Amino acid sequence: MRPVGSKYLLEEPLGRGATGTVWRARQRETAGAEASVAGEPGETVAIKVLKEELAHDADVVMRFLRERSVLLRLTHPNIVRTRDLVVEGDLLALVMDLVDGPDLHRHLRDNGPFSPVAAALLTAQIADALAASHADGVVHRDLKPANVLLQGTGEGDTAELHPMLTDFGIARLADSPGLTRTHEFVGTPAYVAPESAEGRPQTSAVDIYGAGILLYELVTGRPPFGGASALEVLHRHLSEEPRRPSTVPEPLWTVIERCLSKEPGERPSAENLARALRTVAAGVGVHATPAQAEAALGVAALLAPDPSPATVPGTGTGGTGDADPTQVLPSTGATYDPAAATSVLPSTGGRGGPGGPDADPTQVLSSGPGGQGQDYGQGQDYGQGYGRNGADPTRAMPPVPPGPPGGQPEGPHPWESQMRAARDRNEQTQYLDPGQDPLRRRPQRQPAQPQQPPQPPQQRPQQQPPQYQQPPAPYQQQAPAPYQPPQHQPQQAPRRQQPPPQRYEPEPPPREREPRPRREPRQRSANPMRIPGLGCLKGCLFVLVILFVGGWAVWEFSPLQEWIGTTKGYFEQIGDVIGSVRDFFNDVGTWFK
């Protein structure tokens, strides 16, 4: 078993994501004071070993050290606790509590969509975790089902799922200009907020957008915006409004719509989101009292935005890229998988600001015992310092990005290399065989598990009772069915005027679009009245005139006349010919009499 630092031993890989591989590991000895959890020898933990390319990046290492204290102090019942951060030679690792359960993406894939009540209660807990981290100034930036681990309690119908948000800070660590030497942001296209896609400044509202997408996915089984490529998905985030599936109750849709607002300032705070979701869960169930149903219908009033959202330093500001218009990603052409792992999406622009690559780490590394585990400082500097580009959503074509700084030799176009990097990293989490020997081999990819196509919502027989009236357990999942409001809904309840719910149609599979050939501008018609046959008649007349003029020229200017010996003029000869033809027809006429 491979040691990590002096305190941990890697046992078996649990899974691999875009930023690293997560291992089940065992504590060798009690960790020092630098860890937030000392742990006992023999205790099992999960260790995320960051990818080599991250570990080799000086910017990431510095960020890792600076973020240390933030990550270690982030504790909440719905956040996977980071116990320790280890830097050992070329290895960067986060030691976490081991969560015994699948991630939400896998759970959704295996069990199908949640009932609205279950989805609302689950997302409310995730919102609790976000509220705690936002209060601490930490924005997750990569919220998606794969980053929610489910600690299950109980079995079958009585199972309760305890969601735990993981990968906090990973986006911040991986968001390093050192990776490509140009700007990037880390995210997963299906969950990326419009402002992140455009390179505008980001705040904690990006997590609320992610929570809205996640909530939509929980009740429908798929995120609202899909597409054939990452580019198409980003465009849809920017320009399309989500459609309400018929399976989503009106109050829950109000919450989803507000979370998915294109304008970050209109999204609710995490705290208000949690409260609103609990109000909705209480009001759409069969046991809801009239007052609870009424409260659920008035949920919009609970969705007040955060007056002072936590900001993501360095996003959308600073650097020379502020004035740059929207950077639109080139299409990879490959089919886009909404469940794909975190991508690193490119943008371009200058660098600058505090915390930039030139900033020194606030603490000096010191060797730990035996030269293995090391203890690093807790300088608290959130600076990321890499400017984002200003946004202009109307621009569709990318401008030519600024050339390499310092007159570096020209390589491939930055977007080419960045999209290649994005593609390389856009790998789905692989669930690895526990039998692999971590000592001998690096974790290998397993043969891809057959992806179940997203299940379309099943039609339910008319006679069946409404699905969301009586969930047997808070988190029991049910196939979606059209939402029926609680029966004891008071008649006079002031309902918002709402269009009749649309049936949720699964989107057709994405097709490759072929570029349309450019049309030539239409010629003005010479036959504006469109008289039938006129075009053909004109052509015939034109041919006759040409033949007539041509014949005249040949007759008059060639020695044809002399050869034939008639010495007649052209018109005389034509007259003779016409006369002969007329005589011929007269003769023919007399034969038939």
Ligand X SMILES: Nc1ncnc2c1ncn2[C@@H]1O[C@H](COP(=O)(O)OP(=O)(O)OP(=O)(O)O)[C@@H](O)[C@H]1O
- The set of catalytic residues is 142
Tell me how far apart the alpha carbons of residues 577 and 137 are, in angstroms, rounded to a whole number. 104
Tokens of 236: 């849809």
Binding flag, residue 374, ligand X (CB under 6 A): no
Tell me how far apart the alpha carbons of residues 244 and 114 are, in angstroms, rounded to a whole number. 16
Tokens of 208: 């609320």
What is the distance between the terminal CA atoms of the chain, rounded to a whole angstrom? Answer: 118
Binding flag, residue 80, ligand X (CB under 6 A): yes
Of 308, 328, 301, 510, nearest in space to 419 by CA? 328
Cα-based angle 56, 35, 372 (whole degrees, multiple of 5): 50
Tell me how far apart the alpha carbons of residues 340 and 103 are, in angstroms, rounded to a whole number. 14
Tell me how far apart the alpha carbons of residues 344 and 139 are, in angstroms, rounded to a whole number. 17
Binding flag, residue 205, ligand X (CB under 6 A): no
Binding flag, residue 454, ligand X (CB under 6 A): no
Site string for ligand X, 88-127 (x = CB under 6 A): --------xxxx---x------------------------
* DSSP tally for the chain: helices H, then strands E: 15, 10
**Which position among 20, 189, 285, 319 is part of the footprint of ligand X (CB under 6 A)?**
20
Of 83, 49, 242, 99, nearest in space to 107 by CA? 99
103 forms beta bridges with: 149
CB closer to ligand X, 184 vs 324: 184
Cα–Cα distance list, 471 to 116, 157, 231, 251, 485 (Å): 10, 9, 39, 17, 14
Binding flag, residue 342, ligand X (CB under 6 A): yes
Of how many residues is the chain composed? 593
Q: Are 237 and 193 in contact (CB under 8 A)?
A: yes
Binding residues for ligand X, rule CB under 6 A, total 24
Binding flag, residue 175, ligand X (CB under 6 A): no
CB closer to ligand X, 146 vs 252: 146
Candidate ranges 11-19, 33-41, 228-236, 298-306; the one touching ligand X (CB under 6 A): 11-19
CB of 179 to ligand X, least distance (A): 14
CB of 298 to ligand X, least distance (A): 36
Q: Which residue is associated with the tokens 């010495």?
A: 567
Tell me how far apart the alpha carbons of residues 486 and 323 are, in angstroms, rounded to a whole number. 52
10 forms beta bridges with: 2, 25
Binding flag, residue 46, ligand X (CB under 6 A): yes
Binding flag, residue 34, ligand X (CB under 6 A): no
Candidate ranges 17-25, 107-115, 126-134, 371-379; the one touching ligand X (CB under 6 A): 17-25
CB of 49 to ligand X, least distance (A): 9
Tell me how far apart the alpha carbons of residues 140 and 134 are, in angstroms, rounded to a whole number. 9
CB closer to ligand X, 46 vs 61: 46
Tell me how far apart the alpha carbons of residues 108 and 82 are, in angstroms, rounded to a whole number. 25
CB closer to ligand X, 170 vs 238: 170
CB of 39 to ligand X, least distance (A): 14
Burial grade of 519 (CB within 10 A; 0-12, 13-18, 19 or more): exposed
Binding flag, residue 167, ligand X (CB under 6 A): yes
CB of 165 to ligand X, least distance (A): 11
Q: Which of residues 404-443 bind ligand X (CB under 6 A)?
A: 429
What stretch of H or E contains 543? helix 534-557
Binding flag, residue 277, ligand X (CB under 6 A): no
The amino acid at residue 284 is: V
Tell me how far apart the alpha carbons of residues 383 and 374 are, in angstroms, rounded to a whole number. 23
**Which position among 4, 7, 8, 17 is part of the footprint of ligand X (CB under 6 A)?**
17
CB of 193 to ligand X, least distance (A): 16
CB closer to ligand X, 14 vs 329: 14
- In degrees rounded to 5, what are phi and psi of residue 10? -75, 135
Tokens of 278: 């609990």
Binding flag, residue 14, ligand X (CB under 6 A): yes
Candidate ranges 12-20, 264-272, 312-320, 443-451; the one touching ligand X (CB under 6 A): 12-20
Task: Report the residue number whose CB is nearest to ligand X.
Answer: 17
CB of 343 to ligand X, least distance (A): 8
CB closer to ligand X, 269 vs 429: 429
CB of 142 to ligand X, least distance (A): 6
Q: Which of residues 124-153 bind ligand X (CB under 6 A)?
A: 142, 146-147, 149
CB of 402 to ligand X, least distance (A): 29
Q: Which residue is associated with the tokens 């998606």?
A: 144
CB closer to ligand X, 51 vs 181: 51
Of 335, 377, 301, nearest in space to 33 by CA? 377
Which chain residues interact with ligand X by CB under 6 A? 14-15, 17-20, 22, 46, 48, 80, 96-99, 103, 142, 146-147, 149, 166-167, 341-342, 429
